[in-house]
Structure 1
Amino acid sequence: MKIETAFFRYADYMAKKGSSQITINKYRNQIMKLFIFARKNNSARTEITIRDIDMYIKAQKRSHNTMCTEIAQIKSFIKFCNAYNYVQLNHAQIFCPRKEVIEKKALNSTQIQKVLNKLENYDMKFRTGILLLLSTGTRISECCNITKKDIAEAILIGQNYKIKIFGKGRKWRNAFIPAPIYKIVQQTLKIHTESNAIGLNKDQMERKIRIFRKGLNFDLVAHTFRHTYCTNLAKLGTSIYKIQKLAGHSNINTTARYIHSDDLELSEAVNILGF
């Protein structure tokens, strides 16, 4: 069976399993890159071999963790093909190394203040987007997909407004917007005609963040705000299970990677023993 046909069926399987179109596209791109590589010396080929996969992996110049992700994507596809007899390859022969556990970087209070100060020189839509990312811990795609209707239908719970977020893995969860930020969002709705709340899409926000971070003496990407949100919740004593629910993590081990402890905090933890 041709790889293109096999992947069409695999994509259908992923969709039924609940994978987002973004995830499916990432897998498709990876499999197609492998197939193009395998056909480099023989354009008539319609199959791939374990040797093709090994050579492709060795030829890629990626970070360790990126390579682990790409190998896992290929292995998952081959495993599916084997199960339905689309190809006869032993997926167990594809070695998939463990990812390195990298502690997520969060902004400290000084860095947050620098971001807030610099935001004053930027347009209202971008300011609102950053404030939402920082105060809700949403992924950038989730933040940009919050609609005007979502804001209009938000429910006041205590001092925060509850909205529904359609997140990763096609799952719904609640997000809570602090009242002062909610008022800023409401003001932003009045200055643009887009259907989403902040008036910028994901690509526009990411481009603006790349410009915004110039001149800052620390790393900053959209996901940094999510790391900061989760880390600050943990430092304030929020249980890991509540953070997991707010962040929309399906695996609590993912949440654990956002929780930081410096030497002073570890030392104070030992003091509890009373020696």
Structure 2
Amino acid sequence: MNWAAAVKGFKTYLRLERSLSANSIDAYITDLEKLYQFADSELNKKSPTEFSLADLRAFIFWINDLGMIPSSQARIISGIKAFYKFLLIEDFITIDPSVLLEAPKITRKLPDTLSIIEINKMIGAIDLSRPEGPRNKAMLEVLYGCGLRVSELTELKLSNLYLRKGDELIKVLGKGSKERLVPIGGEAIKALNIWIEQVRVHVDIKKGEEDMVFLNRRGKRLTRVYVFMLIKELAQTIGLTKNISPHTFRHSFATHLVEGGADLRAVQEMLGHESITTTEIYAHLDKEYLKSAIIQFHPRS
């Protein structure tokens, strides 16, 4: 079986059997391409069904020598294991060479967060006199107020907003096409209503985009790249030196909830984490926050 056929079959498997999103499938295929590059350059174009455990271990050494960090190596190994599981299920191989392949140990890095003051400064730096200003403010209010992933923000639909008093929820389509309901606060609702009722109504919306909340000037949904660029630009405007992204707002949302005493299970539900262990990192962040507060303010420190 050649690489092209294997990759094509794997994509179909991920879409139909695993029900993964297009973004997740692209990530798997991008990582798998590295294995193909290794086979092409180091193993005389060996086909995927000819790989042994020794070959896969040599590949891990190869990507390590390229300077790939342990977390990226672990992600690639996870993708390789999924790929060979597919080949085994489809009877392209009889023995899975990836079974004993071990991922490197990962030290959990605490994510960067923004303080409430920094978030307020960034939102305050948005120029509301410009046509895109109210939209950009609404995006950041929702990003921080609901802890969304950037793809969840750009794919948010009008039909999934419940903003009336007493409802105050949004329905989010998360990873693996899993839906969840997330509470939304007053500031985010106010910003959304201004954008939807006063500005969005004047946009010439393209066919098929009628239900999308956030649109560009041409009436099409916004890209994730635009949101990244916006946040980088606002950070620069306020002189923020932290290396931040849209995900920083999600981390900040979770951290501020935990610091305020929110239950980890509730935070897990709002973030759409499958496992509580993923959410527990914010408990560690909270401990760091408490530790720094003691050092800074306790008279005996």
Task: Tell me if both proteins adopt one fold, taking TM over 0.5 as the criterion.
Answer: yes
| 1:34 paired residue number | 35
SS at match of 1:141: helix
Code of the aligned partner of 2:13: Y
Q: CA deviation at 1:229?
A: 0.7
Report deviation, 1:267. Answer: 10
Secondary structure, aligned partner of 1:40? helix
Task: Check conservation: 1:249, 1:255, Cα contact below 8 A.
Answer: yes
Give, in whole Å, the separation in 2 of the partners of 1:217 and 1:44.
45
Alignment CA distance shift 1:143-1:157 (3 Å): same
> 1:114 deviation in Å?
2.6
Matched, 1:24 2:31: no
Within 2, Cα distance between the matches of 1:175 and 1:197?
A: 16
Shift in alpha-carbon separation, 1:224–1:156, aligned structure 2, 3 A: same
- 8 Å Cα contact 2:11/2:25 also seen in 1: yes
Shift of 1:49: 2.2
Check if 1:79 corresponds to 2:79: no
**Equivalent-residue separation in structure 2 for 1:118 and 1:267 (angstroms):** 28
Q: Measured at CA, do residues 98 and 263 of structure 1 come closer, stay the same or move farther in structure 2, by a change above 3 Å?
A: closer
Identity of aligned residues (%): 21
Could you tell me how far apart the structure 1 residues matched to 2:96 and 2:174 are? Answer: 34
Quote the residue 2:245 is aligned against.
221
Cα distance, 1:40 vs structure 2:
3.0
- The reply on whether 1:135 has 2:142 as its aligned counterpart is no
Q: 1:193 to 1:135 in 2, by over 3 A?
A: farther
Alignment of 1:13-162 (within 5 A): 13-15=13-15, 16-40=17-41, 45-47=46-48, 48-50=50-52, 51-57=54-60, 58-59=62-63, 60-87=66-93, 88-120=95-127, 123-151=133-161, 154-156=162-164, 158=166, 161-162=168-169
Provide the residue aligned with 1:4 in structure 2. Answer: 4
**Corresponding residue of 1:207:** 229
CA apart distance, 1:69: 0.8
Q: Is the 8 A contact 2:172 2:181 kept in 1?
A: yes
**How many angstroms apart in 2 are the aligned matches of 1:264 and 1:257?**
13
Structure 2 Cα separation of the partners of residues 62 and 267 of structure 1? 32
1:197 positional shift? 1.4
CA distance in 2, matches of 1:268, 1:110: 16
In the alignment, the residues of structure 1 paired with residue 245 and residue 165 of structure 2 have an alpha-carbon distance, to the nearest angstrom, of: 30
Question: Which of 202, 205, 213 does residue 197 from structure 1 map onto?
Answer: 213
| Cα distance in 2, alignment partners of residues 135 and 179 from structure 1 | 9
Superposition deviation, residue 43 in structure 1: 7.3
Aligned-pair CA distance for 1:53: 3.2
Q: Which amino acid aligns with 1:222?
A: P
Q: Secondary structure at the match of 1:101?
A: coil
TM-score computed with the length of structure 2 as normaliser: 0.77
The whole-number CA distance in structure 1 between the counterparts of 2:185 and 2:81 is 43
Note if contact 2:168-2:183 (Cα within 8 Å) is conserved in structure 1: yes
Which residues of structure 2 form unaligned runs of 5+? Answer: 216-221, 295-301
Q: Determine if contact 1:185/1:198 at 8 Å carries over to the other structure.
A: no
Aligned to 2:190: 183
Secondary structure, in 3 states, of the residue corresponding to 1:228?
Answer: helix
CA change 1:110–1:183 in 2 (3 A) is closer
1:42 CA drift (Å) = 7.5
Q: More deviation in 21-30 or 120-129?
A: 120-129
How many residue pairs get aligned? The number is 266
How many angstroms apart in 2 are the aligned matches of 1:71 and 1:42? 18
Question: 1:223 Cα deviation (Å)?
Answer: 0.4
Letter in 1 for 2:51: T
Task: Say whether residues 1:241 and 2:265 are aligned partners.
Answer: yes
Kindly provide the CA deviation profile for residues 74-123 of structure 1, in whole angstroms up to 9, marking residues without a partner as x.
12212332344313552134231232211222212332233233234772
Could you state the TM-score of these two structures normalised by the residue count of structure 1?
0.84
Return 252-261 or 135-144, whichever deviates more: 252-261
Equivalent-residue separation in structure 1 for 2:250 and 2:289 (angstroms): 24
